[in-house]
Chain A
Amino acid sequence: MIRLERRPAPSRAWAWATPLLAVLATMVAGGLLFAFLGKDPLLVIRTIFWDPILGEFAFYYRGQLLVKAGPLILIAIGLSLGFRAGVWNIGAEGQYIMGAICGAAVGLAFYPLDARWLIFPMMVLAGGLGGCLWAMIPGILRTRFNTNEILVSLLLVYVAEQILAWMALGPLRSPDGAGFPGSRNLRHYDAAANHELIAGSGMHWGVVAAFIAVILGHVLLSRHILGFNIRLAGASPRAARFAGVNPGFLVLTCLGVSGALAGFAGFFEVAGPAGQINIDFNVGYGFTAIIVAFLGRLHPVGILLAGFLMALTYIGGEAAQATLGVPAAAIQAFQGMLLFFLLALDVTTNYRVRIDVRARA
């Protein structure tokens, strides 16, 4: 009989080993899945994990990894602060949308003025502010009326999507668009565009912001009293209260910071890779970032790595679709396996697996 025995303290070694084991287990189980679909499993796994980094067209994919990982990391860093403190912001997708709308609206308001030194920084600020204020709604509702921020922040995603559709069809619709929805393309407006810093590298200001967020997140958590309070509140809310941590302040800070980072991510995306506000602007970065945050153990460096891993499965998965004809659903199942194995293997961090040979009398 297999028995789980709680460890006196969570195992550090296992905490770091499980993500790697989860990746390996995903490769094995995913390989089986691909084999059943009649594809060469080794070839598919190579296409997903190897080709984007070192394959023939890696010069293109490496940049795309940055484009894809940037917003995931930026959002996940913000979310991880809250998750550590027990503040569950599930609505980063909505904050991402609102950041994009606010940032783009500021830029479009100045069109066609050519003053990048003024317009671009204002757009960045507006993006962060938009996301931050949108996250303040569940924050204030929780601190004032004790509502559940999980539900409120999640439901506000759908409100944000409706606002996005309204903006694309109404106030922000391009006057030159012949009646079609969608704003002007910010990439064609140099004062507002978030261009690649080095052409073809994939590196844009949003990726830079993500790297900065990783560093600041790390410093905050390891060196700053706020980071200590966040960790304390997550580990033991009662102890945190005795230590003088103001729970309301902590809730608002965590939601505000995660909202602002999601807002920045939304803005950098709309002014860069996406280019325009449109009905389907959001593609789920805010939700995927939740996975990235946990995959990275809520640790800034872990999140950085997890963001790239997630980006790799997306980009490699697309390559496998386009070159090997693997169905999109199989790729999604493959990504799901990664999370599944991670959660399943996580048991080993807190528990020892004991195998009893003695049968019960």
Chain B
Amino acid sequence: MRLTRSGERSMLRVEERPYTRKLGENMTKIVLLAAAAAMSLGLPAFGGSHGDGPVKAGFVYVGPIGDGGWTYEHHQGLLAVEEHFGDKVETVYQESVPEGADAERAMTQMALQGADIIFTTSFGYMDPTINVAANFPDVKFEHATGYKRADNVSTYSARFYEGRAVQGHIAGKMTKTNKIGYIASYPIPEVIRGINSAYIHAKKANPDVEMSVIWVYTWFDPPKEADAAKALIDNGVDVVLQHTDSTAPQAAAAEAGVISFGQASDMSEYAPLPRVSSIIDNWAPYYIARVQAVMDGTWESVDTWDGIGPGMVEIGEITDAVPADVKAEAEALRDAIGSGEYHAFTGPLNKQDGSPWLAEGETADDGTLVGMNFYVEGITGEIPN
């Protein structure tokens, strides 16, 4: 799920210059001729060229690769594919592709140049992926975090909320002020699931815990994230969770001497304190499996939503700043979720307004989780609209 922006804004002032009208008129003619020529050329039907050579895998990234975060982890997946298959695979990628028309062009370009499988790694690429896939029935498309599929479009996402459960448990145990804070990006189901999961498990570990949520409406904006972290800390929060990509909250937590968790990447440069653990996106096994399926001719459209078990969600090392017993509990929770023995949303759970949601022992179905738009009981504040 990405709705990141990129783009440098520039301002400039230049003084006006005179112009030559005659030259201008000639240019008008040239341009009109060129435009007419461009339009009169009929456009042949689309079709990718696929030879017997290596499988070509394309990756469309929403941000720059950088040195950590969402796009970085997808690129790690690409590198893993290269390492696993060697010269049996050829990869191409494009960074900082805006969602919309530009995304369609990036995908079309890859398909025209013979890509066999294209991974589009942002929620905002959903409609563009479907549109382009319709033009290239022989190319396989894999769209991250979306819900629209087609014969040649699969979707995949990770159950990050499973990792949030582990973080919530550690947070509940570690807080001394009984106040934990959550830096949230956008009010969308993925983020709301994370908040609920973290809160449920913090509350289980510590019945007195309270959680404050700050919405920053960005996935990556270091100053904004730092401000949010400071605001939480000023209000007495001593454990900060983040659903944004930058390390700015880690730096703010380090300065204030409170605890934080790495997000998307391990952020181990902030270990052992303030970062006591992390959620790491690990796309490598999935990407390798899907490229393999294309090679074997066994690829088909699927909807994958993997968590800790298959390794798509990894829990970064829990540092020694966490007491041994808490660490052991957290690891046990991680393993129980990973083995499927325990579900992060297990009843009894009520919704925020007190209405019952899950009965004793009942677990949430994926349909509800995918569209989750409510807080569980105990969380204060409202989901912004």
Contacts and interface: CB of A to CB of B under 8 A. Distances in A.
Are A and B a genuine interacting pair, yes or no? yes
Interface residues of A, number: 81
Contacts of A283: 7, 98, 100, 102
B18 A280 contact: no
B101 A273 contact: yes
Given A201-B43, A281-B100, A283-B7, A329 B20 contact: no
A280 B371 contact: no
Interface string B1-21: 001110111111111111111
Interface stretch (B22-30, B235-243, B351-359): B22-30
A244 B52 CA distance: 75
Contacts of A63: 38, 43
Interface stretch (A122-130, A258-266, A301-309): A301-309
Nearest to A10: B18
B101 A274 contact: yes
B195 interface: no
Nearest to B32: A211
A352 interface: no
Interface string B367-385: 0001111000000000011
A67 B23 CA distance: 26
A328 B17 CA distance: 32
A279 B123 CA distance: 12
B92 interface: yes
Nearest to B8: A332
Interface stretch (A27-35, A112-120, A134-142, A319-327): A319-327
B372 to A, nearest CB: 7
In this complex, which of B64, B94, B187 has the most chain A Cβ atoms within 10 angstroms of its Cβ?
B94
Interface stretch (B81-89, B104-112, B284-292): B104-112
Given A275-B127, A280-B4, A332-B8, A322 B94 contact: yes
B331 interface: no
Nearest to B25: A301
Given A201-B43, A315-B105, A280 B373 contact: no
B177 interface: no
Interface string B336-374: 000000000000000000000000000000000011110
B14 A57 contact: no
Given A322-B94, A325-B92, A274 B371 contact: no
A358 interface: no
Given A179-B188, A280-B99, A322-B113, A304 B31 contact: yes
Contacts of B24: 218, 299-302
18 contacts: A62-B41, A64-B105, A93-B9, A179-B373, A198-B39, A234-B16, A269-B101, A280-B99, A280-B100, A284-B7, A290-B10, A290-B11, A294-B14, A297-B17, A297-B19, A318-B97, A323-B113, A325-B92
Interface of A: 10, 12, 15-16, 57, 59-60, 62-68, 83-84, 88, 90, 93, 154, 165, 169-170, 178-182, 185, 187, 198-201, 203, 211, 218, 222, 234-235, 269, 272-276, 278-281, 283-284, 287, 290-291, 294, 297-302, 304-305, 308, 315, 318-319, 321-323, 325, 327-329, 332, 339, 343, 346, 349-350
Given A179-B373, A181-B186, A315-B105, 19 more contacts: A10-B17, A59-B41, A84-B16, A179-B189, A179-B371, A187-B131, A203-B39, A274-B101, A279-B217, A280-B3, A280-B100, A284-B7, A297-B19, A299-B24, A301-B27, A301-B31, A318-B105, A319-B109, A327-B95
